[in-house]
Amino acid sequence: MDEVLTIGQLAQRAGISVSAIRFYEQKGLIDGPPRNRSGYRTYPLKMIEQVRFIKNCRDLGFPLRSVTELLKLCYPEGDEIECAMVQERIQRQHELVLKQFEELNRRRAKLERLLEACPCEGGWPEECDFIRIMLD
């Protein structure tokens, strides 16, 4: 008989929480498992790989819809992975991350300017560097 895992064992071996596994099931990313005679859910060992795949996609910022698509592309019903489509999804996510990185750098630079501007010497708001920078 193939080895099976409880939800807690699966969570531990995949490096995520039990609630994350339940969330993946609720969102249809993984199938709900059968229950054994005692009523416990039992997961096949191969589910560890799929859960890790989902976790890594989420860690890279892929939205749930993209994770669903990537699962279908990388774990197809047939034997062939649709590499061009996978590559296109990765490229889109890469571009999004670059835009987020640029935005974070803009925020960091503004915060550094604000740190240099404070504390204010007092006076009128027009003379306060903090307010001037915040209005930029």
Say which CATH number the domain at 31 has.
Answer: 1.10.1660.10
Rounded to two decimals, what is the model's pTM? Answer: 0.76
Query: What is the extent of the structural domain holding 36?
Result: 1-62
Mean pLDDT over the full length of the chain: 87
CA distance linking residue 114 with residue 110, whole number of Å: 6
Domain assignment of residue 93, yes or no: no
pLDDT of residue 123: 60
Structure confidence by residue, pLDDT tens digits, 1-44? 578 899 999 999 999 999 999 999 999 999 888 888 888 888 99
Number of domains in the chain: 1
| Residue with the two structure tokens 């005692």 | 38
CA distance linking residue 111 with residue 18, whole number of Å: 38
Domain assignment of residue 40, yes or no: yes
